[in-house]
């Protein structure tokens, strides 16, 4: 049981670290290529450079917020597994103490007999 | 329930927890408004639904105790209430973290939050009552309180229908999410319920051992004095 909770905790932490380390897949070159393709398909006349700038600045805004969002996500999952972990540890301790007391009691009863 | 069945439940639970975590972080689509933070939803809502189940079991076994007066029913009822309280704590802790990002505040007194906090406090009261009374009275009064406290569960569930709430979706609102998010949620829900089942079995066993110890101790004291 303890192993299950600890392993899940480690996995969540590992996934969080992994997610924050993922390199940004959308490079300016990719944005330029995608915008050029979209503009060439479009029938409306648009300024390609302005569109590129808008798209790039939108991506920048989203990327800046990502670390903040991931912190909230990690905090929530840390809290969830921490509560489970503490509860399971307490259960384990309780069972251990009871087993010890039972053994002591049985020993005392046998000694008296 | 034997050790083997508990181990099987443990293995299934472990697998489900791992699969659900993989699905949450690696498969489910990122929601458009709250982006990554929305992923809190999967365990937050699953834990909330597990709270209903836990307090439901507590209510059923409390009624059973009141009818049949079997001490084991009281043990199972209190074990279930304890786990309900743990899951409710998870809901009340993970919710504000989500709220801080989504509503820009840790807490607001909207109907579902308030009724959930009241539910949590009622079951805290349940355990305060249990710790304050002796055996028979403890079983009887806590069974009555278990039934009474369960009345708050439907109030929590229908809170958004009874009172207007802008934060939580209204009960009966269309559950319109992407298939990847729906499957992930269902797996997380099953994982949560399995985790609850496993912990309930373990807690019930600890409580039974405790009851056995208390009986043995009383017997030993009686023998020593007389």
Average pLDDT over residues A26-45: 79
Please indicate if any CB of chain B lies within 8 Å of the CB of A94: yes
Whole-number pLDDT of residue B49: 95
- ipTM over 0.90 threshold: no
- List the domain range (segments joined by +) for residue B143: 3-225
Top-confidence residue, B77 or A106:
B77
Going by the DSSP 8-state scheme, the letter that residue B174 receives in this structure is: -
Contact A69 B217 (CB under 8 A): no
Domain ranges of chain A: 2-112
- For an interface test with A, the pick among B94, B207, B219 (most A C-beta atoms closer than 10 Å) comes out as B94
Residue A36 tokens read as 């050029």
Give the 3-state secondary structure of residue B115. Answer: helix
Q: How confident is the model at residue A30 (pLDDT cuts 50, 70, 90)?
A: confident
Whole-number pLDDT of residue B96: 92
Q: How confident is the model at residue A58 (pLDDT cuts 50, 70, 90)?
A: confident
Report the alpha-carbon distance of residue A85 to residue B122 in Å, rounded.
24
Contact A112 B224 (CB under 8 A): yes
Report the alpha-carbon distance of residue B199 to residue A70 in Å, rounded.
29
Whole-number pLDDT of residue B72: 93
Report the alpha-carbon distance of residue B65 to residue B62 in Å, rounded.
5
CB B153 within 8 A of CB B88: no
Whole-number pLDDT of residue A53: 83
Report the alpha-carbon distance of residue A87 to residue B87 in Å, rounded.
11
Q: What is the dihedral of CA A60, A73, B20, B119, to 10 degrees?
A: -140
Top-confidence residue, A38 or B167:
A38
Residue A6 has pLDDT above 60, yes or no: yes
Q: State pTM to two decimals.
A: 0.82
Going by the DSSP 8-state scheme, the letter that residue A23 receives in this structure is: P
Contact A95 B205 (CB under 8 A): yes
B172: left (phi over 0), alpha (psi -120 to 50) or beta: left
Please compute, for residue B114, the number of CA atoms within 13 A of its CA located in the half-sphere on the CB side: 12
What are the CA-CA distances from residue A58 to residues A51, A55, B47, B188 (Å)? 11, 5, 35, 33
- CATH code of the domain covering residue B174: 1.20.120
**Domain count for chain B:** 1
Question: Angle, to 10 degrees, between the axis of helix A2-21 and the axis of helix B3-22?
Answer: 10
**Residue burial B180-192, b: 16+ Cβ < 10 Å; e: rest:** ebeebbebbbbbb
pLDDT tens over chain B, length 226 residues: 668 888 899 899 989 998 998 889 888 888 877 888 889 999 999 999 999 999 999 999 999 999 999 999 999 999 999 999 999 999 999 999 999 888 888 988 888 999 999 999 999 999 999 999 888 889 999 999 999 999 999 998 888 877 776 666 665 556 678 888 999 999 999 999 999 999 999 999 999 999 888 888 888 888 877 6
Please indicate if any CB of chain B lies within 8 Å of the CB of A80: yes
Residue B70 tokens read as 């079997």
Residue A11 tokens read as 């996995």
């Amino acid at each position: 049981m303890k192993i299950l909770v600890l392993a899940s905790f480690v996995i969540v932490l590992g996934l969080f670290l992994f997610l924050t380390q993922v390199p940004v897949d959308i490079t300016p070159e990719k944005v330029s290529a995608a915008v050029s393709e979209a503009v060439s398909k479009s029938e409306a006349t648009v300024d390609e450079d302005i569109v590129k700038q808008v798209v790039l600045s939108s991506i920048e805004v989203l990327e800046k917020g990502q670390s903040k969002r991931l912190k909230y996500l990690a905090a929530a999952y840390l809290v969830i597994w921490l509560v489970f972990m503490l509860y399971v540890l307490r259960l384990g301790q309780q069972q251990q103490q009871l087993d010890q007391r039972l053994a002591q009691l049985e020993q005392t009863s046998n000694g008296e007999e | 329930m034997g050790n083997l069945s508990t181990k099987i439940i443990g293995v299934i639970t472990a697998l489900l927890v791992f699969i659900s975590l993989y699905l949450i972080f690696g498969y489910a689509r990122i929601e458009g408004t709250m982006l990554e933070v929305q992923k809190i939803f999967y365990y937050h809502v699953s834990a909330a639904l597990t709270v209903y189940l836990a307090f439901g079991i507590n209510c059923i076994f409390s009624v059973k105790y009141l009818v049949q007066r079997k001490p084991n029913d009281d043990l199972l009822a209190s074990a279930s209430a304890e786990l309900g309280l743990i899951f409710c704590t998870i809901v009340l802790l993970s919710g504000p973290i989500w709220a801080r990002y989504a509503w820009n505040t840790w807490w607001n007194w909207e109907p579902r939050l308030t009724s959930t906090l009241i539910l949590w406090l009622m079951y805290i009261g349940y355990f305060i009552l249990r710790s304050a009374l002796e055996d028979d009275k403890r079983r009887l009064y806590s069974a009555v309180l278990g039934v009474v406290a369960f009345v708050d569960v439907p109030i929590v569930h229908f809170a958004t229908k009874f009172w207007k709430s802008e934060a939580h979706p209204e009960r009966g609102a269309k559950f319109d999410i992407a298939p990847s998010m729906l499957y992930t949620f269902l797996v997380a829900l099953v994982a949560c319920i399995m985790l609850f089942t496993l912990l309930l079995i373990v807690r019930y066993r600890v409580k039974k051992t405790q009851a056995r110890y208390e009986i043995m101790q009383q017997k030993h004291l009686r023998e020593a004095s007389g």
